[in-house]
Amino acid sequence: MFYGSIPALITPFLNDKVDYNSFERIINFHLENGSNGLVPCGTTGESPTLAHDEHKKVIEECIRVTDKRLPIIAGTGSNNTEEAIDYTNHAEKVGADAALIVTPYYNKPTQDGLFGHFKKISDKTNIPIIIYNIPGRSIVDMSVSTMSKLAKIDNIVGVKDATNDLFRPVLTKNEVKNDFCYLSGEDGTALAYLAQGGAGCISVTANVAPKLCSMMHLEWRNKNIEKAQEINQNLSALHQALFIESSPGPVKYAASLLGLCEPDTRLPLVSIKDETKAIVKNCLHKLNLI
């Protein structure tokens, strides 16, 4: 269904407004460098700070520019169930291939609450839904049991697993339907996740190293294990550097060095420190990206 390197796209800003010209440049960069799909309006896209009309327009622009050349997994999650339904219905209407829906952050629902949230959204749409499980940001972890119950729903088709628990996909595979799609949400363990049965990675690093990230996945699929491991090793320092400070600050700075956009984030995120910039820049140099 979905596989390989799928960048969780940054949302470029200029003078605190969405910079759609740079966004189109970013999308074309991925089309030219082998990415296997795109995710607009995820965590890396600073979705919590996008106004509703901005959120919807970013998804629309991603679909327009991509023009069916890559699958689009639109970020439509919210800790407000009705808002998530609205975003998901919009994504379906404008032609997204799937919706990425995060576990409700801040509310801290029980497992029954998580089930009810995703069940209600799935009842209101026909678009394929990928559950985004990221306990580090949402403070709630969907259990394997809850995931397996939701996987029985026809249009809940996969998970973006950002738990960094490499036993999780194996345990989940024992409980859910065979065609469930497993995507990692952690660049540093993406290759190991493939070895545990994953199909790909929704990636931060692929924003600035799309060719290397897609090559790693291609080499794995072609059973060139040592080559995949070599690429993974080469990318490891960049994976670390992009999370020295809160993402997407470092990756936006890296994108600015590539001439893709300005490094601007929206409050409460601020510009990264000079020492972080130096580390990020050095990583890009070592990979011959700049």
- Single-letter amino acid, residue 35: S
Helix axes 111-123, 81-94, angle to 10 degrees: 30
- How far does Cα 60 stand from its chain's mean position? 17
Total count of residues recorded for the chain: 290
Answer for the pair 207, 182: CB distance below 8 angstroms, yes or no.
no
CA distance 257 to 262: 9
Long-range interactions of 156-159: CB distance < 8 A, separation 24+: 156/118, 156/122, 156/128, 156/129, 156/131, 157/1, 157/98, 157/128, 157/129, 157/130, 157/181, 158/1, 158/2, 158/98, 158/128, 158/130, 158/131, 158/182, 158/183, 159/130, 159/131, 159/132, 159/133, 159/183
Q: What is the full DSSP assignment across 77-100?
A: --SSHHHHHHHHHHHHHHT-SEEE
Distance CA 61, CA 66 (A): 8
Active site residues: 132, 160
Amino acid occupying residue 34? G
- Residue 146 and residue 113 in contact, taking contact as beta carbons nearer than 8 Å: no
